[in-house]
Amino acid sequence: MSLENLARRYGTPLYVYSGGHMLSRLGMFEIAFAAVPHLVCYAVKANSTLGILQLFARRGAGFDVVSGGELERVLAVDRRAVGRTVFSGIGKTAAEMDLALRAGILQFNVESEGELELLAERAAKLRKRARIALRVNPDVFAETHPYISTGMREHKFGIDIRRARAVYRRAGKHLDPSGVSVHIGSQIRSAEPFGAAAERVANLVVELRRDGHAIRYVDAGGGLGIEYDADKPFDAQEQVRRYASALVPVVRKLGGVTLLLEPGRFLVAQAGALLTRVLYVKKNGTKNFVIVDAAMNDLIRPALYQAHHQIVPVGPGRGKRTIVADVVGPVCETGDFFARDRKLPVVAPGELLAILDTGAYGMVLASNYNSRPRAAEVLVDGRGAHVIRRRETIADLLAAERRKMPRRAPR
Ligand code: LLP
């Protein structure tokens, strides 16, 4: 599939995804975890476009949602997939609980005692019994960016694992303590912290069973990282294999549990590229700037997490000459950059660039800052290229706003 043709046909900035790549990543999970009963619950937050959810739903995947909105997305693509959906998040509202209770989700991952009480109340009101797991905070350190590390006591997530037993004891008759869940952070490259967290969870499961709770699910969360630096080798299959070998023995030893996994980034990040056209090339002092038509509103990862994304020219290139430049967008912020002091082949206005590994946490974090309509998204599969989300229009942006305010009456 020619990216240049897609860019010409659908305009830029444009997100392009490979469906085959996403499904092959899901397949790697299925193979690596084949030895234990398991369900991959794709973390919808990584990329929640309906076309992508549908791709995973058709392969039998489950979902991890963190809001009523994400649950509505799952409902919109496949009503039956809600039975394979877990609901995480520290701030669930009564309305979101009601929606999930009525839909009949697989499990609520409860993150506080207050939430436990409210959920019991809502379930009683709707005459339902909610399957719950406490999301425990295992106090495990995992090497990643501080904004996406979640598994330590000082983080806002989960319930202190040392208090968990007491909290499970408080689940009344409208709650069914069916599992334990944990999530220690995102973009974690080493298997070791996952294993350490799982061990702690397993010890808790043994205690909970002794207390009389029928624990059938261990939800190990998401967080498996990828390699963003294209110059470094990365064997995805090997990465999942190592991850699985940290979790599988722990789950096996417990027996009688289904392992739930919530990968997001690992499944979709490397299946996506953000296509953008060079608008101008300029020099300020000694610095070169390549100004492109995508901006931080389309992809905020470099600005927010100092994230590295490989940037490559899509065309044949103009020989071997290179420059060192900042690749920046049109938004009026110094933080609006995709790369700083990056060695790039010499590019000219009109040329197409691809910002790689942007399938996860790209479009979902997009905004309308500077009144920029959000990009279109194209999914490529065996049958061709499909627009799974059209480009926003200025009319879309203005639609929710009031045009005319009443004039103040003249005095
Ligand atoms: N489960 C829970 C409860 C989570 O909070 C997350 C991610 C996941 C699963 C999926 O994690 P993953 O497999 O994708 O690492 N915007 C950041 C990442 C934020 C992750 C938030 N939670 C970024 O662009 O790096």
* pLDDT one digit per residue (tens) for the chain, 411 residues: 899 999 999 999 999 999 999 999 999 999 999 999 999 999 999 999 999 999 999 999 999 999 999 999 999 999 999 999 999 999 999 999 999 999 999 999 999 999 999 999 999 999 999 999 999 999 888 888 877 777 777 788 889 999 999 999 999 999 999 999 999 999 999 999 999 999 999 999 999 999 999 999 999 999 999 999 988 999 999 999 999 999 999 999 999 999 999 999 999 999 999 999 999 999 999 999 999 999 999 999 999 999 999 999 998 766 789 999 999 999 999 999 999 999 999 999 999 999 999 999 999 999 999 999 999 999 999 899 999 999 999 999 999 999 998 888 777
d(Cα 274, Cα 355) in Å, to the nearest integer?
5
Q: Give the Cα separation of 139 and 168 in Å (integer).
A: 19
Location of structure tokens 């490397």: 270
Classify burial at 42, counting beta carbons within 10 Å of its beta carbon; exposed 0-12, middle 13-18, buried 19 or more: buried
Termini Cα distance of the chain = 66
CA–CA distance, 282 with 290 (Å, rounded to integer): 7
Confirm if 86 and 70 have CB atoms less than 8 A apart.
Answer: no
For the Cβ of 221 lying below 6 angstroms from any atom of ligand 1, the answer is yes
Catalytic residue (choose from 146, 332, 341, 400): 332
Nearest CA to ligand 1 atom 23: 361
Task: Return the ∠ at Cα 15 (arms to 399 and 383), rounded to 5°.
Answer: 110
CB-ligand 1 contact for 305 (6 Å cutoff): yes
Q: How far apart are CA 360 and CA 48, in angstroms?
A: 9
The response to whether residue 87 sits with its C-beta less than 6 Å from ligand 1 reads: no
What are the structural domains of the chain? 19-266 (3.20.20.10), 270-391 (2.40.37.10)
pLDDT of residue 149: 76
Ligand 1 nearest atom to the CA of residue 304, by list position: 24
As given in the structure block, the two tokens for residue 184 are 């220690």
Distance of CA 316 from the midpoint of ligand 1 (Å): 35
pLDDT at residue 145, as a whole number:
83
Q: Which residue has the tokens 């869940």?
A: 181
| CB 43 less than 6 A from any atom of ligand 1 | yes
329 lines ligand 1 (CB under 6 A): no
Residue 311 DSSP one-character state: E
Among protein residues, the one with the nearest Cα to ligand 1's atom 9 is 222
Active site residue 332: yes
Q: What is the pTM for the complete model shown?
A: 0.96
Asked if the peptide bond before residue 13 counts as cis, ω within 30 degrees of 0, the response is: yes
- The rounded Å distance from CA 360 to ligand 1 centre is 9
Residue 149 β-bridge partners: 185
Structure tokens, 246:
């940290």
Structure tokens belonging to residue 172: 């009344």
Q: Is the CB of 144 under 6 A from ligand 1?
A: no
pLDDT at 156: 84
By most ligand atoms within 8 Å of CB, the mutation choice from 41, 108, 186 for ligand 1 is: 186
Give residue 144 CA to ligand 1 midpoint distance, Å: 12
> How much is the pLDDT for 150?
78
Give residue 104's pLDDT.
Answer: 98
Nearest atom of ligand 1 to the alpha carbon of 223: 15
Q: So what's the pLDDT on residue 317?
A: 66
Question: What's the pLDDT at 351?
Answer: 97
CA distances from 394 to 39, 301, 400 (A): 41, 24, 11
